[in-house]
Amino acid sequence: MLNGFVKPKRVTDPLDDKVRAQLVTSQLSYVGSSGSEHSPCLSLSELVHDFLENDSDTESQLAYNSDSERVDSVSDSVEAVETIVDLCNSNVNANAYGKLLKCHVLEAVETFSCLRSNRNVFLRNVMAFLRGLGHNAAVCKTRWESTSGLASGTYEFLDVVQSESTMCHSRYLIDLDFATQFEIARPNEEYFKLVQHSLPRVFIGCGEELRKLVRIMCDVAKRSLRSRELSVPPWRKNRYMQNKWFGPYKRTTNPVHDQPARQFMLPVGGVKCRLVGFDHPHGFFVPTR
């Protein structure tokens, strides 16, 4: 170190064992109802970026990667988010299957809205509903370990794989409570409006648009927090947020903790909700964990 200058780590420095291990990536497979493991397909540039970010002493040295969607003003932020959301909606509506899937997802969300307070049950009932209509839907649970600058975590969302084409698979990512994932402490007015009015409550789209949307929102959240003289918590940094949807995951179609599906009707405040549970000595039991 000379006169306070910290020499950044060179890209050409040898990669450690952990990063080398990531170079062996698995091909994604969407078969397996009991919970099959999947690893994200990472490019070499992403691996190198992760290596640099892990070894960085200051966040400012490597705040944005080469394909960052950084925006520098509130108006730019709103425009960028709304553009991506519009693009996502356009892509979903571009074909008959995407339109049908969106219609069925929104119908399922409305049908089971009384279960929103129990996210686990809500998520799995929507999944079972979609499967009942013939969609290849599943619950995806991501799990990642803590590394330098990255806290460990888990997350669950839905995906639907359209495999009618013999050429390729189309995978739709579905998050039933998307906007909530970007809530922060003491947001400034601009960020609050962005989360409340620009982000969809239910996200349905492909991975490319979601990656861009997450990058932008993390960048705007960072600036909102700093405007309040608050530090960015580890669980609101871009790397952590990206792992929610793009980390290694297990895909399962079991509705309740590896138990077989059982559907029944339960009146709740005059509204009937179809729940997924299993037999209990004293009747039906809906798990809360």
For the stretch 132-170, pLDDT in tens is: 999 999 999 999 998 887 889 999 999 999 876 545 578
Within 8 A by CB and 6+ apart from 85, the residues are: 198, 199, 200, 213
The pTM score is 0.68
What pLDDT score does 149 carry?
A: 78
Three-point CA angle 39, 141, 49, nearest 5°: 45
What pLDDT score does 175 carry?
A: 97
Which regions in the chain score pLDDT beneath 50? 2, 5-6, 8-13, 19-33, 41-69, 71, 166, 258, 260-272, 274-289
Q: pLDDT tens-digit profile of 72-89?
A: 555 677 888 888 999 999
For the sheet with 249-252, list strands across it: 36-38, 249-252, 137-144, 153-162, 170-175, 203-205
Q: What share of the chain is helix, strand, coil (3-state, %, to 5)?
A: 40, 20, 40
Q: Are 155 and 141 in contact (CB under 8 A)?
A: yes
